[in-house]
Amino acid sequence: MSGYAFEALRGLEAAVIALPGRRSLPPELATARMLREIGAAQSAPKAPADQFLEGVRVRLGNGGDSPRDVRYAPWILWHGNPQAIGFPGLLHRIVKQAFESRSTFRNLIEAWLRDFAVGQREIREAGLAIVTLLENNADARLDIWRNAQTRFSMFDPLVGPRDIAAEVLSSQRPVTEVLGSLGFADELRANGGYMRAIHDECVAQLPRLLRGPSVASQFSRAVALLTQGKQLRFPDARRSTAKSLLGPWTDGHQPPSLEAQGLVKDFLLKYIGHPQLQPHLWIGAETEAAVLRGWLARATLQVFFGLIAKHAPDSWRYREAFWLACLKKGAIADAWLALGKSVHASLDRKQIGDAFGELAGSSGDQSVLLLRIGPIVLAEWSHNGKLRAWSAQQAPKLYERTYRRAELVQDGLPFPADPTRPLAVARGSDRSGLMHLGSVTGLWQRRAAALLAQQAGVTVFPTDWEVR
């Protein structure tokens, strides 16, 4: 019952009490009874206890046909083992009784919505029967279902979920209002099989939505359907949701806008999880997780160079240009920060949240950027620190919460000699890191690029890292 109806009813009752000679109300006004019954009709009845339904299953499976068992039979048609939809003639008996019994009819509707799945046995036949029953039943308490059938062919398994999902994404009405008008404000229906079908149709429409002109407004509507409180409405839909949302960036077509990318990134981090910190939540969607990690790597680099500009005394524009060139090539698979104490305190977490570690045992304004490129990991120190590289098996682990200086300065891979100087020989001490000498002439950049080509098969040219 709507709040407006309750208010109107209270006003009517007050007026009746105020009439001369009226000391009390009748037991229940007809208006109150009607509104109460309509409100009850819009609430989903709970299924009986499993133990009771098992008794119904046994009796019907043994050929029983009592009206009482038939009344509750819809709850076991597509639920439990064995599903009663396989009992010969049972659906026909339920439909026949539903013409005379409102409770049987309501149970059929609610069980159909709860256990709905497009491939479910005889789900289409039951949907058609519900339509026929609605057409032959004038009970106003069933108007919610009649209206849903008229507007969206709700009880057509192939049409209803698709058209309702489209309405949710495109309507001017709030999503809660759209769903409420179809009976899905009720908690049982809001998490049943039919809502899952609407959800899946919405997920299927996300790639088109992300390339559309109204991505922000439509995406916010999709979020209202896909989530419930602080979590996904259907947590087991993580993989399909991630694949649909990130598919437009893996399908070879022109990717959506940066605005769409930001919306998708924020949603996935909030409702599915960080692919670096919670990789188990991305099982089955590893390709999509790699796309998101690439986005996060860009954000990490941007944060790092922004922080260094505040805390490091030397110019970082050459190092920034080099690593952004690698990022543009798609070479950086992962990036992680180890921040000094004072840098950590000044961090604006809007871009990376808590996706960083703390650098212990160093000066408070010194930090390290860890990069994974192919089979190697590199550590780029702030200030005048050296660039170091290791094979992934020997390298410090990414995604740790705390790092100590000693583990980030251990000897690693030697950097090749400058390829433009054939007679030059790389010094053995280069295992301890590459100093950033000759930034203007590109000396250290060429040696770093030679290491990436040699160890990771990544090619970056001077024109890629040129400071403009």
Residue 427 included in any domain = yes
Model pTM above 0.75: yes
Report pLDDT for 26: 47
Q: Are residues 336 and 447 in the same domain?
A: yes
Question: Distance between CA atoms of 458 and 447, rounded to whole angstroms?
Answer: 13
Residue 390, in any domain of the structure: yes
Distance CA 413, CA 433 (A): 8
d(CA 270, CA 394): 32
Looking at the structure of the chain, the number of domains it has is 3
User: Quick one: 23 and 142 in the same domain?
Assistant: no
pLDDT of residue 236: 95
Bridging pattern class, strands 387-391 and 376-381: antiparallel
- Measured on CA atoms in the order 357, 362, 365, 368, is the torsion positive or negative? negative
Query: Within 13 Å of residue 157, how many CA atoms lie on the same side as its CB?
Result: 18
Using alpha carbons, select from 392, 375, 395, 380 the residue that is nearest to residue 454.
375
Q: Is the domain of 15 the same as that of 104?
A: no
In angstroms, the CA 445 to CA 419 distance is 11
The DSSP bridge pattern shows strands 227-228 and 402-404 to be unpaired
- Per-residue pLDDT, 366: 82
Helix residue spans in 115-237 (DSSP H): 123-135, 143-152, 160-170, 175-181, 187-190, 193-210, 215-226
Cβ proximity of 331 and 458 under 8 Å: yes
Examine residue 41 and state whether it is found in any structural domain, yes or no: no
327 and 434 share a domain? Answer: yes
Residues 242 and 219 in one domain: yes
- Rounded-to-integer distance, Cα 208 and Cα 204, Å: 9
Print pLDDT tens along the chain (468 aa): 443 343 443 443 444 344 444 444 344 444 434 434 444 446 778 899 999 999 999 999 999 999 999 999 999 999 999 999 999 999 999 999 999 999 999 999 999 999 999 989 999 999 999 999 999 998 998 999 999 999 999 999 999 999 999 999 999 999 999 999 999 999 889 999 999 999 999 999 999 999 999 999 999 999 999 999 999 999 999 999 999 999 999 988 899 999 999 999 999 999 999 998 899 999 999 999 999 999 999 888 888 888 776 655 556 788 999 999 999 998 999 999 998 887 766 666 666 777 889 998 766 778 899 999 999 999 998 877 899 999 999 999 999 999 999 999 999 999 999 998 866 655 545 788 999 999 999 999 999 999 999 999 999 999 999 987
**Do 179 and 57 belong together in one domain?**
yes
Q: Are 105 and 138 in contact (CB under 8 A)?
A: no
Q: In this structure, are 315 and 439 located in the same domain?
A: yes
Q: Is 284 left (phi over 0), alpha (psi -120 to 50) or beta?
A: left
C-alpha closest to that of 262 among 335, 350, 326, 373: 350
Please give the helix or strand (H or E) that residue 338 lies within, else none. Answer: strand 332-339
pLDDT of residue 253: 87
What range does the domain containing 460 cover?
Answer: 291-465
Work out the number of other CB atoms within 10 angstroms of the CB of residue 294. Answer: 18
The amino acid sitting at 43 is: S
For residues 99 and 60, state if they share a domain.
yes
Overall residue count recorded for the chain in this entry: 468
| The predicted structure's pLDDT at residue 33 | 47
In sequence order, the 6+-apart residues with CB closer than 8 A to the CB of 282 are: 238, 239, 242, 272, 273, 275, 288, 289
Predicted confidence at residue 71, as pLDDT, reads 97
Please report the pLDDT score of residue 269 as a whole number: 94
Closest CA to 388 of 370, 373, 363, 406: 370
Q: How far apart are CA 225 and CA 9, in angstroms?
A: 33
pLDDT confidence of residue 32: 39
Q: Structure tokens of 306?
A: 């922004």
Examine residue 281 and state whether it is found in any structural domain, yes or no. no
**Residue 279 resides in a domain:** no
In a domain, 44, yes or no: no
List, as one string, the DSSP characters of 113-150.
HHS--TTSTTHHHHHHHHHHHHHT---GGGHHHHHHHH
- Provide the pLDDT for residue 347: 67
- Nearest partner of 269 among 248, 247, 246, 252, judged by Cα: 246
